[in-house]
Amino acid sequence: MVIRILILRAPGTNCDEETARALREVGAEACIVHTNKLLSNEVDLFSYHGLVLPGGFSYGDRVRAGAIWASKLKSRLMEKLMEYALNGNPILGICNGFQALIELGVLPFTRRTDLNPKAALAPNISSKFEARWVYLKCHSNTCIFTRYIDVNEVPRMPVAHSEGRFILGEGLSGEELSKRGQVVFKYVKANGAPANSEYPFNPNGSMFDIAGICNEDGNVLGLMPHPERAVYDWQLPDYTSVRRYSGHADGWRIFKSMIEYIEEEIR
């Protein structure tokens, strides 16, 4: 049986095609679906093995990045989405998708009682759009999206956003998240040393250098960097210099992990 992944789009979503390509590269069937089709029940979320909210500027990032998209989903799809997540289906939010998952309150905690967001992605400290490659360190061995990335490995991916400064709500500590394996990626320097908020290694001023987090169960991941732009080695910023090619780049491993999880745990 083929693995089917739903890639959700909204007006202004613009990373859906390369995300679909990344999923096809790891053997999945990727279907790009307009949010309205999901809201109108023309398409059933549960007929897909996984869900991806790709990057872009949904609804022009008006009000706040991801806020309008989240409010559309909240108004008509929230219960289904929660059920889908709690069933263990993988959900991946990349950049704008991450922003939407935060605004929806699906991250950091899917199991919860109230609907308010518990984290935020504020405008970058530089107050500019930042398009650059960053180094990440993997901190989680429970997140299902990092099966192909070892703890303490330092994958490389580009970021491209103006609202990516991760802020954790009051009363929540990074340590706590960390302990539960929810801090999946932190920004680091090339040698793996902590970025310690230093620009541009931490490109947006995120608290605890957080670049990506998952929920308690490890099946919902949101991250600011774009793994779909780091699937092939020729996408690397120094491809012409390195001359040590493997075919794939680090982002590929996130998609590969997702599909392997589905193969082993869901199907």
Partner 1 sequence: MYNKLPLPFELYEVDILKASEEDLLKISSEMGLNLNLNEMKAVKEFFVKRGRNPTDVELQTIGQLWSEHCRHKVFKGLIVNDEGKIVADNMLKNFIARATEEINAPWVLSFLEDNAGIVDFTDEHAIAVKVETHNHPSAIDPFGGAATGIGGVIRDVLGVWAKPIALIDVLCFGPLDYPYDKLPKGVKHPRYIMRGVVAGIGHYGNNFGTPTTTGAICFDEGYVGNVVVYAGCVGILPKPKYIRRVKPGDYILVIGNKTGRDGIHGATFASADLREDSEVSSRPAVQIPDPIEEEKLKRAILRIRDEELGSGITDLGGGGLAVAVVEMADRIKGGATVWLDKLHLREKMSPWEIWISESQERMLMGVPKDNLEKVLKIVNEEELECSVIGRFEDDNRVRVFFNDYLIVDLDVSFLLSPPKIVRKARWIPPNYDEPSFPEPENLNDELLRVLSSPNIASRENIIRTYDHEVQGNTALKPLHGEHGGPNDASIVKPLDRSWKGVVISVGLKPQYSKIDPYWMAASSIEEALRNNIAVGGRRIAILDNFTWGNPEKPDRLGQLVEAVKACYDFSKAFNTPFISGKDSLYNESPLGPVLPTLLITAIGIIPDIRKAVSLDLKSPKNPLYLLGLTRLELGASEYYRLKGFIGKSVPKVYVNESRKAMECVTKAIDRGYVRACHDLSEGGLGVAIAEMALSSNYGAVVDLSRVRREGVSRNDLVLFSESNGRFLLEIEKKSASEFEKLARDLGCTYSKIGEVSSDGSLVVSGINGEIVIDLPISEIRRAWKEGLKW
Partner 2 sequence: MASKMLSFKVRVEVWLKEGLVDAEGKTVEEALNDLGYRVSSSRVGKVYEFVIKAGDEEEAKRLVNEMCTRLLANPVKDKFIYEVKKIGVQ
Instruction: Measure the CA–CA gap between 139 and 147, rounded to whole angstroms.
Output: 12
Residue 67 sits in the site that holds partner 2 (CB under 8 A): yes
Which of 229, 261, 223, 262 is closest to 248 using CA atoms? 229
Single out the residue of 5, 8, 15, 53 in contact with partner 1 (rule: CB under 8 A): 15
Single out the residue of 151, 237, 264, 265 in contact with partner 1 (rule: CB under 8 A): 237
Which CB atom, from 211 or from 254, has the smaller least distance to partner 2? 211
Residue 34 touches which of partner 1, partner 2, none (CB < 5 to 8 A by kind)? partner 1
Instruction: Measure the CA–CA gap between 207 and 201, rounded to whole angstroms.
Output: 13
Angle at which helices 67-86 and 96-104 pack, to 10 degrees?
70
Single out the residue of 11, 88, 174, 194 in contact with partner 1 (rule: CB under 8 A): 11
163 contacts 234 by C-beta, under 8 angstroms: no
User: CA 51 from chain center: how many Å?
Assistant: 11
Q: Which long-range contacts does 40-49 make (Cβ < 8 Å, 24+ apart)?
A: 43/6, 45/6, 45/77, 45/80, 45/81, 45/84, 46/80, 46/84, 47/4, 48/4, 48/5, 48/6, 48/89, 49/3, 49/4, 49/5, 49/89, 49/90, 49/262, 49/266, 49/267
* DSSP string for residues in 126-174: TSS-EEEEEEEEE--SS-GGGTTS-TT---EEEEEES--EEEEPTT--H
Which of 204, 221, 53 is closest to 146 using CA atoms? 221
Residue 237 sits in the site that holds partner 2 (CB under 8 A): no
Residue 57 sits in the site that holds partner 1 (CB under 8 A): yes
**Catalytic residue IDs:** 95, 226, 228
Residue 46 touches which of partner 1, partner 2, none (CB < 5 to 8 A by kind)? none
Residue 253 sits in the site that holds partner 2 (CB under 8 A): no
Single out the residue of 78, 125, 160, 266 in contact with partner 1 (rule: CB under 8 A): 160
Instruction: Measure the CA–CA gap between 40 and 168, rounded to whole angstroms.
Output: 33
Residue 74 sits in the site that holds partner 2 (CB under 8 A): yes
Instruction: Measure the CA–CA gap between 173 and 118, rounded to whole angstroms.
Output: 11
Residue 153 touches which of partner 2, partner 1, none (CB < 5 to 8 A by kind)? none
x/- map, 18-47, partner 1, by CB under 8 A = x--xx-----------x-x-----------
Residue 118 sits in the site that holds partner 2 (CB under 8 A): yes
Range 195-234, binding partner 1 (CB under 8 A)? 226, 228-229, 231, 234
Single out the residue of 31, 32, 122, 160 in contact with partner 2 (rule: CB under 8 A): 122
Range 155-194, binding partner 2 (CB under 8 A)? 167-170
Give residues in contact with partner 2 (CB under 8 A).
Answer: 59-60, 62-64, 67-68, 71-72, 74-76, 103, 116-120, 122-127, 167-170, 205
Give residues in contact with partner 1 (CB under 8 A).
Answer: 11-15, 17-18, 21-22, 34, 36, 55-57, 59-61, 128-132, 158, 160, 190, 226, 228-229, 231, 234-235, 237-241
